[in-house]
Amino acid sequence: MNPIELIDKLEQDHILGHSDFLRLLSGNLLPDEALYLKQRAREVTDRTFGRKVRIRGLIEITNVCRNNCLYCGLRKDNRILKRYTLTDDEILGCCKTGHDMGFRTFVLQGGENPAITAEKVTNLVSAIHDRYPDSAITLSLGEWDDYSLKMFRDAGATRYLLRHETINPAHYSRLHPDEMSRDNRLRCLDTLKQLGYQTGTGIIVGSPFQTLDNIAEDLLFMRDLKPEMIGIGPFLPHSLTPFSSYRAGDLDLTLRIISILRLMFPHANIPSTTALATLHENGRCLGLLAGANVVMPNLSPPDMRNQYSLYDNKAAFGAESAEGLKALSSQLAKNNLYITTEKGDYSDV
């Protein structure tokens, strides 16, 4: 089969074999084949969501983390970073600001901060759920035991983002210290699914040592998991990590993977990520035009945003921020895309 036929097959069957995925991932696609992939992905996105782009307000609740992922600026061995933890009142204040602006999803993201116990998260989720029953609460707070994940779910969280990062064990162990385990992450993802969370996973594109083979394995893993949300962004180096001198992930490859995922999962919520917007000035729109349907403007208190430094130069202001919704809207309008404030659950299509 030639690449055009492979793309048609992917759209129809939502899956390809490992070697066929490799052919779409490799840089050998001709320009019109690459364009066709993107067009099919956007066409499928239009069929599911129209030209609407769903917004989620991102609240970065703490930059304290017990873990030491080698790629991340929040890793505990980064002793230079000034750490912060928002109080419940500050977080509720962010929700209020967001709710007034029309946000109906709050994403609470943060490092694995030992001071933020399961009980605290549960109480916080309950408080947000009580005040904003019309809004969805998404958590992105790393790995927890099954019991805690159940408490959060019972308190009103309905979505959870936990990228698997890479499914290949050898690759996983080059990105993480020995005390972290890929299997624990997979256990969490399994539990999230069983608890009925809309579950998000994903990878960093172009992380050090990643091969196209690894990405093909990740795609096959995601086929089995059936995530309702998929977060894909390029690797971006952080100067105070062991990976400071590695190159950033590739824009075209990131966009191609978004398109492949859209053809695999026509209904999934796929954000055009902050990392993509940081890599390229028009990255956010390029991601949407390649098949993404979600953006996550930053709702964190502005004076804390620079401290949530997963990677260098992270975009957090202007069109990447909640207060920049107008700027974002006009960027999108140029591409005939429009913000919707609908809650936008997985099943709402």
Residues that bind ligand SAH (CB under 6 A): 71-72, 109, 111-112, 140, 142, 162-163, 165, 204, 233, 235-236, 238, 275, 310-311
Decide which of ligand SF4, ligand SAH, none touches 238; Cβ closer than 5 to 8 Å per partner kind: ligand SAH
Q: Which residues pair with 294 in a beta bridge?
A: 54, 271
Question: Residue 171 belongs to what H/E stretch?
Answer: helix 169-175
Distance (Å, whole) CA 219 – CA 1: 20
Distance (Å, whole) CA 249 – CA 276: 9
Pick the piece of the chain touching ligand SF4 (CB under 6 A) from 21-29, 41-49, 67-75, 286-294.
67-75
Pick the piece of the chain touching ligand SF4 (CB under 6 A) from 70-78, 129-137, 206-214, 314-322.
70-78
Rounded to a whole number of angstroms, the minimum distance from the CB of residue 272 to ligand SAH is: 14
Pick the piece of the chain touching ligand SF4 (CB under 6 A) from 52-60, 64-72, 253-261, 278-286.
64-72
Q: Does 65 bind ligand SF4 (CB under 6 A)?
A: yes
Q: Does 312 bind ligand SF4 (CB under 6 A)?
A: no
Q: Does 157 bind ligand SF4 (CB under 6 A)?
A: no
Bridging pattern class, strands 229-234 and 338-340: unpaired
Check the CA dihedral 42-45-46-52 and report its sign.
Answer: negative
Distance (Å, whole) CA 335 – CA 274: 18
Binding ligand SF4 (rule: CB under 6 A), the pick from 6, 10, 72, 121 is 72
Distance (Å, whole) CA 146 – CA 1: 44
Distance (Å, whole) CA 218 – CA 22: 12
Other beta carbons within 10 Å of 328: 23
Q: Does 67 bind ligand SF4 (CB under 6 A)?
A: yes
Decide which of ligand SF4, ligand SAH, none touches 58; Cβ closer than 5 to 8 Å per partner kind: none
Query: Contact residues for ligand SF4 (CB under 6 A)?
Result: 65, 67, 69, 72, 74-75, 111-112, 142
